[in-house]
Structure 1
Amino acid sequence: MDKVASQWTVETPKTPGGEPPETQNRKIRDDKVANQQGNSELVYEVAKPLGPDPAKLPRASVGVKCLSSPASRPSPDRPGAPLSTYPSENAEEQFGFPYLAWAVLASTEGVRSATYIYLCLSRRSETKTANLTDSSTAIAETRQNTMSPPASEKQGSVENVEDVGQRALDNIDYDEEYSYEEQRKIIHRIDRRLVTMTGLAYCISLMDRTNLSMAAVAGMIKELGLHIGTRYSVIVLIFFVPYVIFQPAMTVITRKLGPTFFLGAIVISWGAILIGMGFTKDWKQMVVCRVLLGILEAGYFPGCVYLLSSWYVRYDVQKRFSVFYLIGCVASALAGILAFGLSKMAGIQGLGGWRWIFIMEGVITGVIGVLTLLLLVDFPDRAHKSWRFLSEKECAFIVRRINRDRSDADNEPFTLRRFLTPALDPKIWGFAMIFLCTTTVTYAIAYFLPIILQEGMGYSVGASQCLVAPPFVFAGIVMFASAWVGDKYRVRGVLVVINSIMCLIGLPILGFHSNNAVRYFGVFLATGGANANIPAIMAYQANNVRGQWTRALSSATLVGFGGIGGIISSLVFRSQDAPGYRPGMWTTIGSNILILIIVAAMSVWFRICNKQADRGQRIIEGSANFRYTI
């Protein structure tokens, strides 16, 4: 045995002091074998160093917790709280779950001179032998790693530090109450209820805020005199002013009152506003309706982003965001066809076709609002109260799962300071700027594509409304493929870059080519890349923040800046620039270039922070486990 390994003793708390290490190790092995045979007795070992006081040693690298002394070990009931004594014989009851890996690695003069490793393994007789074998293998590997320093350390190097945080991520699906198959069933139930319901209401939200362009080509512009000056652009823009301003407050209200009642109520309310838009007499009344619609819709999208990110672990979330937004894309794809059908009601009760678009879609919105009141679920810590959803035991499993991933499932009391402090973090604004640049493109396509198809490419009213659908179908395919790759390979920023490049290829083709068929092909690329980036950026942000109120603020700023993107698109796509819309085209191209720059800068910074955390020089987001997703 080399010089370093000879400094160690291994002992179990049940072993009387004074026994040689060989005897103690043999007893550990005997207990492990008994455990494999179905014995539920608690088996654990503690490796303690000889030599200097570890509290006086420098911190080197992070295991599951980055700590500098035994006194700062995690509490059994609250992560991060101190535990001043070694684990007792009732450790299983203390910690409340059968497996806890806890490590502190300290280094001096390039050699691992002090290591505390606590492994608590408990298996009941009904636990599968395969799981026990895996756990026993983990003991052997840990003992070997503890007793024998890696080759790189023998050479005085700190490279190849073991990423215990990554191993913890790989074990997220381990739970003491539910098997893997049972966990999947619970999560799929959540998918069917939560993702479907939020997506359906968002589908209506997106349809309601973008049906303006459909009504415009169906006669609204002429009847309300919106062709005069910049009236149409003002009506588009005015929605986003309250939409941006009210989002932070609405997100806090969503958390305090609960999404079931609050989000359901605002969906019903904006349905009523939409019906009112169908009876407006002049453009000023339309402006008032759009302001009220902006206030009400300010609470829905950020509330959904916050709610969805609270239910899923980091590498499950992009597929859910994609399905959520994909349902919205279905709305965008079908909105034109639906508007075309509703416009054929022109003359009924003496109302124009564009008025029936608003009235009938308002009625549909009200029905969806009632369903939202009945079926939308609360946050995980309160979801057992939701009608015919999960039991309290199943909700507790979700909370445990989220805490294993990032330790932020528990509700934190609201204070203004706690809510606003994350605003000092530059990455919050980096994510918001990326989202702003993306929504500048998506809103431009949503509000002006039918007009570009009609005035710029010469299609009829019906054709321009129906030709909106195929690009959004393509966008849905790109979106879900991107999400599948992102969750499987645990990448985020890379996908944002790829989608932006696709959009950068499509926009010049749409804006500057002379052939209409080729320009329409550019619509596919621009629509696909821009819309696929919406859930990709939402997941990018959700993966790299931690804490309930940090998540609430970041969701509000993200979607709020997205609203600013809508303001920008309505200002740069002006009626007087038709049919080419050159200022708008150059703005959207520049937005995608800015996305590439910001993502590149953030990726470099995240990589630096992760490497520093691996060396024990930094704790990210208040957790030694946490690593940024690049």
Structure 2
Amino acid sequence: MSEKAYAAETTMKSSSSDQDTVEALSGPAPKYVTKLDFRLIPILGCTYTILFLDRTNIANARIEGLEKGLNMPANGYATCLWIFFIPFVLIEIPSNMIMGLPRVRPNWFLGFNMLILGVIVTCQGLVKSYRGLLACRFLMGIFEATLPAGAAFLIGEYYTRREASLRFACFFTFGVLGPCISGLLAYGIRNMNGIQGKEGWRWIFIIEGCFTLFISFFVFLLVPDFPERTKVLNANEKAHLLAKLRYDKGDQKISFQSVNWFKTIFDYKIWFPTLMFFCCDMTAASMASFIPTILTELGWKAAKAQAMSIPIWLTGIVAQIFGCWISGRVGIRFPFILGGICIVLIGWIIMIVYSNTHSVAPGVRYFALFSMSCGTFIQMAMTTSWMTNNLRGRASIGVGVAIILGLGNCANFVASNVFFKKESPYYPTAYGTGLGLTVAGAAICLSYVGILFIHNKKLDKKQAEFGGEDNQTEYRYMY
């Protein structure tokens, strides 16, 4: 066959393949997408559950006597919270860069880190001093950093922009299950007080650390490789998946060595969502770290406070999945994020009124926590999905996910340092900070939409006049 004939045949096959892909995208999801859902989301979601379980169990341990048991200073609890996030923020970007290397396999990378994390979490229940607890919290930050960023990175590689929203919602739902399960476990584990001569708060750490070790073995066994190397799909399914992803998002297999890192790291399509995530994470961090404490201050004893925290998190789960499902159906993100911000504002305003007048009934303050949970978790899943929807290439997605889940979580530094013990139970400084950051999140969201709108209008005009190329700079962004 001549080179010209071969080229013509290749072009025809390529055109036919592209047409098939277009039809596949506009039609119902292929059956293998469900196969991927059951293989990816549960096990990767469990890594996110573990993160929140291990991160927030200190709040449950606190009301079971942690501070008194280790003779912690007045600011000791806050220090235990923020010291975790120093390595957590610094490690996530290099962690995803390592995971994206050709010879690194996600199951081994994530599984090993979770195994070490389980050992460290267990050690929290065995420490003899406050300094020992600080050391464990710092080490936890190192190994936990790899889990949410790596899991979200892998999920983003397998789904089209239309499919991603609901999958990220399911992924983040597993995260919300962390503090929900933590409260339930703490409610039961507290009855182990005195067994083997250990206080109940120590058993919270020990048992949940053993649970982390148990799950790590399933990560080794079940987490799949990147799409081009996956063994979860047969040859035809893998070929269709790769063609579909290439049509929707361009070539994702970009060598990390050939990336313009300055341009990638400082991409506004990463930083606007990251700032939005930071603003909404102030609410999530406040809830995760202080809900048990706030509930005890409403007059409930420790046991009841542990149990009453569970419905708050379940509300966030339902709102998150429903909101992201609707968003995926209509193919738009920002109205849902703004709606979530408005719902959170209701919660913070109630808290502000309570801190200023002390006349709001405790039940109304409890309702405010539901409002905050509902609006916050809609934002977190939707913002992450929105960011990955507008990035192209494995390097951009890997770095973007690491930045949004790493630097976005820096709100924990703020949350852990504005709930002053001397202001208990009204916390006016914390509530004012939360309200201010929530309003800032709305302003950032509207600004980002405006920038994307201007870009798309310019691209439409250019394509109408000259025709546009499908590359990173000639890419229509999703609202």
- TM bin (shorter chain): over 0.9
How far apart are residue 419 of structure 1 and its match? 3.5
Pick the aligned partner of 2:251 from 405, 408, 412. 408
How far apart are residue 564 of structure 1 and its match? 0.8
Q: Quick check: 2:169–2:320 contact (8 Å CA) kept in 1?
A: yes
The question of 1:391 aligning with 2:391 is answered no
Comparing 86-95 and 553-562, the one that deviates more: 86-95
Q: What secondary structure does 2:25 align onto?
A: coil
Q: Which residue of 2 aligns with 1:458?
A: 299
The question of 1:270 aligning with 2:113 is answered no
Number of residues of Structure 1 aligned to a counterpart in Structure 2: 467
Q: Quick check: 1:172–1:405 contact (8 Å CA) kept in 2?
A: no
The question of 1:436 aligning with 2:294 is answered no
How far does the alpha carbon of each residue in 1:365-415 deviate from its partner, in whole angstroms, 9 at most, with x for none? 10100001000111101112xxxx222432222111100101133x22222
Pick the aligned partner of 1:468 from 300, 309, 327. 309
How far apart are residue 184 of structure 1 and its match? 2.5
Pick the aligned partner of 1:448 from 290, 293, 299. 290
Q: Which residue of 1 aligns with 2:140?
A: 293
How far does the alpha carbon of each residue in 1:83-107 deviate from its partner, in whole angstroms, 9 at most, with x for none? xxx9858634345345378xxxxxx
How far apart are residue 619 of structure 1 and its match? 6.1
The question of 1:99 aligning with 2:36 is answered no
Comparing 411-420 and 481-490, the one that deviates more: 411-420
How far apart are residue 569 of structure 1 and its match? 0.8
The question of 1:622 aligning with 2:465 is answered no
Q: Quick check: 1:510–1:523 contact (8 Å CA) kept in 2?
A: no
Q: Quick check: 1:406–1:626 contact (8 Å CA) kept in 2?
A: no
Write 1 or 2 for the structure with the bigger share of strand: 1
CA spacing shift, 1:302–1:598, aligned 2, 3 Å: same
- The one-letter code sitting in structure 2 at the alignment partner of 1:372 is V
Q: Distance in 2 between matches of 1:527 and 1:197?
A: 24
Which runs of structure 2 are paired with 1:313-332 in the superposition (5 Å)?
Answer: 313-332=160-179
Q: Distance in 1 between matches of 2:199 and 2:12?
A: 67
How far does the alpha carbon of each residue in 1:403-431 deviate from its partner, in whole angstroms, 9 at most, with x for none? 0101133x222228534421232232111
Q: What secondary structure does 1:316 align onto?
A: helix
Pick the aligned partner of 1:243 from 83, 88, 95. 88
- The Cα RMSD (Å) is 2.2
Q: Which residue of 1 aligns with 2:376?
A: 530
The question of 1:380 aligning with 2:231 is answered no
Q: Which residue of 1 aligns with 2:128?
A: 281
- The one-letter code sitting in structure 2 at the alignment partner of 1:237 is W
Q: Quick check: 2:160–2:244 contact (8 Å CA) kept in 1?
A: yes
Q: Quick check: 2:279–2:438 contact (8 Å CA) kept in 1?
A: yes
Q: Which residue of 2 aligns with 1:512?
A: 353
CA spacing shift, 1:88–1:498, aligned 2, 3 Å: farther
Q: Distance in 1 between matches of 2:392 and 2:475?
A: 9
User: More relative contact order in 1 or in 2 (CA 8 Å, sep 6+)?
Assistant: 2
How far does the alpha carbon of each residue in 1:276-297 deviate from its partner, in whole angstroms, 9 at most, with x for none? 0000111110000000000001
Q: Distance in 1 between matches of 2:271 and 2:472?
A: 21
Q: Quick check: 1:440–1:562 contact (8 Å CA) kept in 2?
A: no
How far does the alpha carbon of each residue in 1:471-501 deviate from its partner, in whole angstroms, 9 at most, with x for none? 1111111111110111111111111111011
The question of 1:191 aligning with 2:33 is answered no
Q: Distance in 1 between matches of 2:317 and 2:37?
A: 18
CA spacing shift, 1:524–1:467, aligned 2, 3 Å: same
The question of 1:254 aligning with 2:110 is answered no
CA spacing shift, 1:98–1:461, aligned 2, 3 Å: same
Q: Which residue of 1 aligns with 2:357?
A: none
Q: Quick check: 1:172–1:404 contact (8 Å CA) kept in 2?
A: no
Q: Distance in 1 between matches of 2:174 and 2:159?
A: 19
- The one-letter code sitting in structure 1 at the alignment partner of 2:249 is R
Q: Quick check: 2:60–2:183 contact (8 Å CA) kept in 1?
A: yes
Q: What secondary structure does 2:192 align onto?
A: coil
- The one-letter code sitting in structure 2 at the alignment partner of 1:339 is A
Q: Quick check: 1:419–1:553 contact (8 Å CA) kept in 2?
A: no
Which runs of structure 2 are paired with 1:563-602 in the superposition (5 Å)?
Answer: 563-602=409-448
Q: Distance in 1 between matches of 2:417 and 2:183?
A: 23
- The one-letter code sitting in structure 2 at the alignment partner of 1:361 is E
Q: Quick check: 2:274–2:403 contact (8 Å CA) kept in 1?
A: yes
How far apart are residue 356 of structure 1 and its match? 0.4
Q: Which residue of 2 aligns with 1:25?
A: none
Q: Quick check: 2:24–2:30 contact (8 Å CA) kept in 1?
A: no
CA spacing shift, 1:467–1:620, aligned 2, 3 Å: farther
Q: Quick check: 2:125–2:202 contact (8 Å CA) kept in 1?
A: yes
The question of 1:203 aligning with 2:45 is answered no
Q: Quick check: 1:510–1:518 contact (8 Å CA) kept in 2?
A: no
Q: Quick check: 1:545–1:621 contact (8 Å CA) kept in 2?
A: no
Q: What secondary structure does 2:178 align onto?
A: helix
Pick the aligned partner of 1:173 from 11, 25, 31. 25
- The one-letter code sitting in structure 2 at the alignment partner of 1:580 is Y
CA spacing shift, 1:88–1:469, aligned 2, 3 Å: same
Q: Distance in 2 between matches of 1:236 and 1:270?
A: 17
Q: What secondary structure does 1:615 align onto?
A: helix
Q: What secondary structure does 2:351 align onto?
A: helix
In structure 1, runs of 5+ residues without a counterpart are 1-85, 102-120, 122-130, 132-167, 175-179
Q: Distance in 2 between matches of 1:590 and 1:306?
A: 30
Q: Distance in 2 between matches of 1:509 and 1:92?
A: 67
Q: Distance in 2 between matches of 1:551 and 1:214?
A: 35
Q: Which residue of 1 aligns with 2:214?
A: 367
Q: Distance in 2 between matches of 1:291 and 1:481?
A: 36
How far does the alpha carbon of each residue in 1:220-258 deviate from its partner, in whole angstroms, 9 at most, with x for none? 1111123x3211100111000000011111111111212
Q: What secondary structure does 1:218 align onto?
A: coil
Q: Quick check: 2:259–2:395 contact (8 Å CA) kept in 1?
A: no
Q: Distance in 1 between matches of 2:472 and 2:7?
A: 26
Q: Quick check: 1:218–1:353 contact (8 Å CA) kept in 2?
A: yes
Q: Distance in 2 between matches of 1:316 and 1:603?
A: 21
The question of 1:612 aligning with 2:458 is answered yes
Which runs of structure 2 are paired with 1:72-151 in the superposition (5 Å)?
Answer: 91-94=8-11, 96-99=13-16
Write 1 or 2 for the structure with the bigger share of helix: 2
How far apart are residue 565 of structure 1 and its match? 1.0
Q: Distance in 2 between matches of 1:96 and 1:621?
A: 19
Q: Distance in 2 between matches of 1:619 and 1:274?
A: 53
How far apart are residue 335 of structure 1 and its match? 1.5
- The one-letter code sitting in structure 2 at the alignment partner of 1:259 is P
- The one-letter code sitting in structure 2 at the alignment partner of 1:277 is Q
CA spacing shift, 1:290–1:619, aligned 2, 3 Å: farther
How far does the alpha carbon of each residue in 1:414-454 deviate from its partner, in whole angstroms, 9 at most, with x for none? 22853442123223211111111111110110001110111
Q: Distance in 2 between matches of 1:602 and 1:620?
A: 23
How far does the alpha carbon of each residue in 1:68-89 deviate from its partner, in whole angstroms, 9 at most, with x for none? xxxxxxxxxxxxxxxxxx9858
